[in-house]
Every structure is written in structure tokens, then in C-alpha cells.
Structure 1
Amino acid sequence: MTVKWEKIENNVGVLEVEVDADKVSSALDQAFKKVVKTVTVPGFRKGKVPRFIFESRFGVEVLYNDALDILLPEAYTSAVKETQIEPVDRPEIDIIQMEKGKPLLFKAKVTVKPEVKLGAYKGVEVPNKEFPVTAEDVEKELAELQKSHAEIIVLEDGEVQSGDLAIIDFEGFVDGEAFEGGQAEGYQLEIGSGTFIPGFEDQLIGMKKGEEKEIKVTFPEEYHVTSLAGKEAVFKIKLHEIKRKQLPVLDDEFAKDISEFETLDELKADLENKIKERAEHEKKHYIEETVIDEAVKNAEIDLPPVMIENEIDSMMADFKQRLQFQGIPYDMYLQFTGTTEEKMREEMRDNAEKRVRTSLVLEAIAAAENIEPTEEEVDEEIKKIAESAKMEEDRVRQLLQARDPNFLGLKNELKIRKTVQFLVDQSKLV
């Protein structure tokens, strides 16, 4: 196989590939063995038609597509490896020649990872910033702890208040007609959570158990269902149950019940220490973000748009997975937040571009400074993962190797961490 690579634009080039005629012949043989099983010719059993009769009757050309399916993936992968390019998108394949007894000729238009022209990244001046811990911070943390240990009680009497969990049936109508997706039974809604479109939850406040009510809301102008956008809707509501959080008393007994401490003062002291640890982490993160942002700002990259789109795809997939873990259907989320997937993608665009640029710059700095994790560092990281997961170290190693035999993903993560630490070590607090 012969390969030629030529850049035609900044991040786009063309691979010209010639695959030997004997490999084409072998692929045609494999294609025939596959196709002949489905062919019926009078006088022959299915799958037993001789090759010369098959080709004389149907033509060898009918085998070309299957043969290409066999040839192209391997040939393209080998060409990429030989030229050492790094594609970031699927190639556009153009078949120049596919003929029995002759080499396969094809061109592949490929978008590749852009070159990074690094600017200044050493000696970055970071304005010193304090992250103080106050008594008010401790009280807020204690209040959150109190809320998390609240008892959920079912009210027999009383009215819906903000913060309550309301169990409702609802059905929505626009212009007197029920609309798809606008109804549910036994739905648990936290009042004030902002789960539903503006105005919906507020109008449930004051309702009593067993009460039925009609409320009016207006769909946002940019609502993803165009037939509902900007329309006024009437929802028929029936309230089945009110649940309320009953906060525990903050005293020594509370501290004993939810922690290993005997007194509330001891619990507060522990909370203060944890908040201080978080503050130290926040300061470390602030310094890291500052030096990274400066390195990215000073670098020059002609970023292919497809890399941003791919990152948005990844971010959307992560978001949908988080919704799934929470038991929230994606379509329902869109409906009740009044947004669209296109709008969400656009809102993610700036962050996606920043993430791609940051990744490319850190990778380029690591290459420039010859930063690589040692085997000892890899072993130490596996040990930490095992301790965190409370698993045997050998078992963790086996699981990691099963999906990444050479630990390339883990090594890359460690390399990026070492690169960030390198930038921090080179920076100056001012």
C-alpha cells in the first residue's frame, strides 16, 4: 500500500491511498463468499453457485460495495498511522478506482487536530485572593445539614407552602384542547423548585388536600413546541397529598444522631474544619484556572468547528445521562423548562470551545516540556482508585486493563494533571 498526505487548508488535508491488487482480489473473494449464500441460480443449490457463473450472470461489480466495506476501514486506519495524522472527524471518501485485477485507489478528505502555537505560559502572575471562612458559613452548613435530615411528614390538614412536596394530577389545555405531554397522575412536585414553567408552582400555594383547581400559565415565546410557544394554557389540578419537611432541633442530641460527636459544638468545629479544607481547595482551583486561562489566551489555534460540535455532543450525552440517573425523561425536561435541544447546544457552545482549546494547549505544553507520568505514578494512582472504591488493587488493575490495555486514558489524565501543576509551580502570587 502506498500513501500520500497533502494539506489543502489549515486543518484539512487529503490522503491519497493505493491498495495492492492482491488485497482487492482477496476482498472480492470474501465478498463473494458472503453474497453467494443469498443467491439463487436455477440448477444450483443456494450457496453453491460457481464464481465464474455468478460473475457472468450478475457481473463482478455487484461485489464491489461489500469488498470496499472490507478494504476501506483497514486501509484508512493504516494510512492514518503511516502519515501520523490525528483526524478529529470522519473522512470524506472518494473512490478513484475499484476494478477487479487492479489496485484500489481512493482519496480521503480529513480534518485533523490543529497545530498549537504556544505563547507565554511560564511565570504567570496570579493576583492573591483570600477565601475566608466565617461563623456565618458554619451556620449555613449546619442549616443544610439540618435540612438533609428533615423528616418528611404527610399533612392531613393545612395548605401548600413553598418547599412542600405536592402530589398532584394535572392536565393542560390550550384553546380548550388537551395537548400531548401536558398531563400526569400522582406527580410529586417540590414547590419552588422551578421544575415547571413560570407561574405554575406559585399558583399551587394555598391549595388543600383533595382540592381541585384551574390555573393559567403562559408558555415562553421560545418554547420548543412551536404550537404552544407564547400560548396561554389552562391546567386542571387535583391535589392528593401534601408532604412537608419537619426540621430536627439543633442540639447535642442532633449531633449524636447524625455524627460521631457528642455535642453540637464539636459538630460545628468539624464543619468549620471541612469548610476550611474546601476553601483551600477553592484557592488551589482558582490558581490553576488563572494560569490555565492565561496560557490558553496567549496561544494561537485555528480551531476546526467540528471539534466544538463533538465536544457539545459529549456534553449533551453527559447531561442526558444525569437526567436519566435522576429519573427525569429528557422530553419532559425540555417541555417543562420551555427550552429546546438547539438552544441548549448553543448555550453550551462557549464552554465547549473553552474546553477544547484548554485541552489542546495543555497537551502542547506537556509535549514542549516533555511531561509524562512515570510508571510509579501510574501505580500510585491505581492504588488510590482501589482505596477509594474499597477494592483490591489487582482487581482494579484488571478492570482498567480490560477496557484500556496500556492505561492510555489514565496516563493522559495524569499527564494533564502534571502539566497543570507545572504551570502552577512556574507561576507567581502577587
Structure 2
Amino acid sequence: MQVTETLNDGLKRGYEITITAKELDDKVTAKLEEAQPEIEMKGFRKGKVPMAMLRKQFGPRILGEAMQDAVDGAMSEHFDKTGDRPAMQPKIEMKDGENWKEGDDVIVTVEYEALPEIPEVDLSGVTLERLVVKANEAEVDEALSSLAATAKNFEAKDGKAENGDQVVIDFEGFVDGEAFEGGKGEGYPLELGSGSFIPGFEEQLLGAKAGDDIDVTVTFPTEYGAEHLAGKEALFKCKVHEVKAAKAAEINDDLAKQFGAEDLAALKGQIAERLEAEYVGAARQVMKRGLLDQLDDKVKFDLPPSLVEAEAKQIAHQLYHEEHPEDHGHNHGEIEATDEHNSLAERRVRLGLLLAEIGRKQEIEVSDAEMTQAVMNQARQYPGQERAFFEFVQQNPQMQQQLRAPIFEDKVVDYIAGEAKVTEKEVSKEDLQKEIEKLDEV
């Protein structure tokens, strides 16, 4: 087997791999000899079929496998020898494939962009500021009022259902005239205006009265977790049993006990802890941006053009949909990336490669438990379709990577923060909010 370099320009690499006819024939023979003891054929005992007959019967298929094995082996050997890591899947083509015939040498062309050498970073030189916010009494009272609103009771009322009312319904969903799994419920208490059902569902129940039969027609979002329902129009047949009006809960010890607290004072303490935990999460985002800005200034290296181009296109596509929320499809044609998109893409790719390299060297990994938790968190966005979402993730490696990537990145950021010099600064909730808003401006 011969490997000849044909391209070496920056990170771009090109090679020509020649596999001789003899090498292929030897591999085919080896595979047939390995399989021979288990093969039975009419007129011959098991393991006694002549090699010539095996070659005639199975040779063409085995030849294809041998070619693939030879190319895979050559690529593996090449990457081990050179230390190259391809940025994306290498482009592999058989030269003169249409004219190739058995007995000829096989010549394969390989092209790829190598990941760059990423320099070491002195993380001890990174200085970070962690903002700290304490929950004050007014913020706790505001959160307590919101909590009380979720604990409101509903009492039966006469007349039509209004926004904020609760309707108790039976429902069954149909797509193309067929009922689908997870689309049926009985005695379900649905608060109108809560947004807990598919967009457009709750609005069609406004004005309903007890005893009404109502057909609700909605369209599942294109990004719906259950792939067989995504983007499909569905008809839900609904039976309204009751209409109930909301009654605000009183803020007292009884309310606190509903939420598992001993009394109102204990509940306020829990709320303060929850608020401060939220502030910690927001402050972490501010600190993370500061960390990434410093890393971006500290490290420069060549970037694979294909990665930058793909990232720029993704950014352009994402921003287009943020600016055109009414366009839910993908029939808008190709969106051209601007210089601003390309600049942002270069930053993201550079930092992504740097964090990946730091994580690789530190052997940072995402555990099965962390992945399971991430899938569960996402599944909660699709009530009634959790099982379908789990199956979708299991069968979709790209979706698994989308869930794994942010977990890995956060773990690497935590490692870097542990190596950096971190100081704390106490600020108000408003000051923290201003810093959060600045993140969206960049």
C-alpha cells in the first residue's frame, strides 16, 4: 500500500492511496479462509467447500469489504503516523472508479482539513470576577405572591370559559384520521392561557360551557420532539365537563405547608435560597463571558475554513429566524453569511476547539447520568410525549451531541475557573440584570 501526499496548504491535506491488486486478493483470500470452516454448500460437507467455489460465490461481495477494510486501515495508519485529526469527515473518492475492474490496483483520493495545533494556555493568568446578589425582602415577597398565584384554587362557575379559567376536559387527538399514542386524556384540568398545550389549542376553548363538545384543530411545531407528529395538523375532539374560575390563595402558614414548608417564615427562607441560586446561575453566565473573552485574546491559531463556514451559516440561519419568528419553515432559501456572522463564527470555532482541547487533555467527560438528566429536562417540554422524545434522542446521534456539548463546555469552564484567580463582588439584582443585558449586545 502506498500513500502519496497531493496537497499540503495550511490545514488542507490531500493524499492518494494506492492498494495493489495483490494486496486486495490477499485480503479476499484471508477472509474466505476465515469463513471456510463454517460454510455449507450443497454437495459438500461443512467446512469442505473448495476455495475456488467460495471465491466464485462470495468473491465479489468479499472484494468490496476488502476494499473498505484496506482504505479504513490506511486512513487509521495515516492518522496514527501523522497525528492529524480531521476537522470534518474526510472526502474519500475512488479514482477512475467507473473504469476499474477486478485485477486492477485501487487508487483512492482523500481530502480533509486537519485540526490545528492548539497552544498551551497559562490558566493561572486568567482573572475573573464573580458577581454575588443577596435576595432582599421585597424580592422575596414578590416571588411569594407569584407562588401563591400557582396555588390558586378553582371553583365551579356558570357561563362561558374565560382566559384564566380552568376547563376540565376529555380529549383525543387524531392525525390523518388516526388516533396517535399520547394524544388522549380524561378529566384533564386545563388552565386557559397557561400555554401548557400546543400553541392555538387553549384559545379554541375560550367561550366553552360545561357539556360542550368542541373540535380543536392545531398544528404541531416543526421542532416537536416526536418526529412522526412534527409539523402535522391534528384534530382534537374535546368534551367539556366543567368550567371553573380561579380563586387566589391566601399567603399564610397553610399556603407554606402546601409547598412542604413548616410555616410561612420557612417558606420565605426557601424562596430566598431559590432566588439566590437563580442569581448564581445568571452571574455564572457573566463570569463565563469574561472568561471566554480573555481566552479569545490569549490564544490565536489557524482555523479550519470548513468549520468556520458551517458555523457562519448556522449563525445566519438562527438570526434569520429570530428576526422572522413568523417563518416556522425552512423554505426561505439559503441565507448568506455576512462579515459579522463570519467574525462571530471564527470566535466560536476558536473557543470551541480550545475548550475541547483543554477538556481532552484533562480527560473531562460527560457521564451517562448527566446525559440522562439533560434528556429528562428536554423531555419535560413535551408533556405526554416524553417516551417518544427519549426514543428520538436514542436514535439521533446529532441530537445527543447537541445535548452533550453544552454540558461538556460548562464542565471545562468550571475546570478553568478553578485554575484562575476569582474575586467576588456583591451587587444588586438590577446591576446583575444590566450585565446580563450586555451579553446580548455582543
Class of the TM-score when normalised by the shorter of the 2 chains: 0.5 to 0.7
Are the counterparts in 2 of residues 19 and 75 from structure 1 also a CA contact under 8 Å?
no
> Any idea what the Cα deviations from partners look like across 1:223-259, whole Å, max 9, x if unmatched?
99xxxx9x9x999864345577766532123334533
Decide which of 342, 355, 360 is 1:362's aligned counterpart. Answer: 355
Equivalent residue number for residue 381 of structure 2: none
> How many Å separate the matches in 1 of 2:252 and 2:144?
11
Structure-to-structure mapping, 1:239-318, within 5 angstroms? 239-242=240-243, 248-261=249-262, 263-293=263-293, 295-296=295-296, 299=300, 302-305=303-306
Give how far 1:65 is off: 0.5
> How many Å separate the matches in 2 of 1:252 and 1:160?
32
The 3 A distance-change label for structure 1 pair 355 and 297 is same
**Percent of aligned positions that are identical:** 20
Structure-to-structure mapping, 1:186-205, within 5 angstroms? 186=185, 190-194=191-195, 200-205=201-206
The 3 A distance-change label for structure 1 pair 277 and 256 is same
Q: Secondary structure at the match of 1:14?
A: strand
Give how far 1:71 is off: 2.7
Equivalent residue number for residue 207 of structure 2: 206
Q: Secondary structure at the match of 1:272?
A: helix
> Any idea what the Cα deviations from partners look like across 1:46-93, whole Å, max 9, x if unmatched?
8754223555x5796564202123333333222222211112332222
Equivalent residue number for residue 80 of structure 1: 79
The 3 A distance-change label for structure 1 pair 355 and 418 is same
Q: TM-score scaled to structure 1, two decimals?
A: 0.56
> How many Å separate the matches in 1 of 2:235 and 2:256?
48
Q: TM-score scaled to structure 2, two decimals?
A: 0.55
Are the counterparts in 1 of residues 38 and 47 from structure 2 also a CA contact under 8 Å?
yes
> How many Å separate the matches in 2 of 1:353 and 1:145?
44
The 3 A distance-change label for structure 1 pair 254 and 297 is same
> How many Å separate the matches in 2 of 1:427 and 1:360?
29
Structure-to-structure mapping, 1:306-385, within 5 angstroms? 339-340=328-329, 356-363=349-356, 366=358, 373=362
Are the counterparts in 2 of residues 292 and 358 from structure 1 also a CA contact under 8 Å?
yes
> How many Å separate the matches in 2 of 1:280 and 1:94?
52
Counterpart code for 1:362: L
Structure-to-structure mapping, 1:117-136, within 5 angstroms? 131=133, 133-136=135-138
> How many Å separate the matches in 2 of 1:354 and 1:414?
20
Q: Secondary structure at the match of 1:271?
A: helix
Counterpart code for 1:359: G
> Any idea what the Cα deviations from partners look like across 1:25-48, whole Å, max 9, x if unmatched?
442124435888999988667875
Q: Secondary structure at the match of 1:418?
A: helix
The 3 A distance-change label for structure 1 pair 28 and 155 is farther
Gaps of 5+ in 2: 225-230, 315-325, 336-340, 374-406, 427-434, 436-442
Are the counterparts in 1 of residues 123 and 416 from structure 2 also a CA contact under 8 Å?
no
The 3 A distance-change label for structure 1 pair 70 and 251 is same
Q: Secondary structure at the match of 2:144?
A: helix
Give how far 1:146 is off: 3.7
Decide which of 106, 109, 117 is 1:107's aligned counterpart. Answer: 109
Equivalent residue number for residue 138 of structure 1: 140
The 3 A distance-change label for structure 1 pair 111 and 74 is same
Q: Secondary structure at the match of 2:161?
A: coil
> Any idea what the Cα deviations from partners look like across 1:137-157, whole Å, max 9, x if unmatched?
212432454456566x68485
Query: Aligned pair 1:92/2:85, yes or no?
Result: no
Counterpart code for 2:292: I
> How many Å separate the matches in 2 of 1:85 and 1:209?
69
> Any idea what the Cα deviations from partners look like across 1:250-287, whole Å, max 9, x if unmatched?
212333453353x3123213422442343244324312
The 3 A distance-change label for structure 1 pair 124 and 271 is same
Counterpart code for 2:28: L
> How many Å separate the matches in 2 of 1:413 and 1:127?
17
The 3 A distance-change label for structure 1 pair 268 and 196 is closer
Counterpart code for 2:354: V
Structure-to-structure mapping, 1:218-257, within 5 angstroms? 238-242=239-243, 248-257=249-258
Q: Secondary structure at the match of 2:93?
A: strand
Q: Secondary structure at the match of 2:92?
A: strand
Counterpart code for 1:65: G
Gaps of 5+ in 1: 173-177, 314-336, 389-409
Aligned residues: 354
> Any idea what the Cα deviations from partners look like across 1:311-365, whole Å, max 9, x if unmatched?
999xxxxxxxxxxxxxxxxxxxxxxx9834778x99xxx899876443223346x
Equivalent residue number for residue 402 of structure 1: none
Are the counterparts in 2 of residues 133 and 275 from structure 1 also a CA contact under 8 Å?
yes
Query: Aligned pair 1:417/2:414, yes or no?
Result: yes
The 3 A distance-change label for structure 1 pair 99 and 76 is farther
Are the counterparts in 2 of residues 155 and 243 from structure 1 also a CA contact under 8 Å?
yes
Are the counterparts in 2 of residues 5 and 83 from structure 1 also a CA contact under 8 Å?
no
> How many Å separate the matches in 1 of 2:301 and 2:82?
24
Are the counterparts in 2 of residues 121 and 294 from structure 1 also a CA contact under 8 Å?
no
Are the counterparts in 2 of residues 308 and 356 from structure 1 also a CA contact under 8 Å?
no
Are the counterparts in 2 of residues 373 and 414 from structure 1 also a CA contact under 8 Å?
no
Counterpart code for 1:279: Y
Give how far 1:208 is off: 1.2
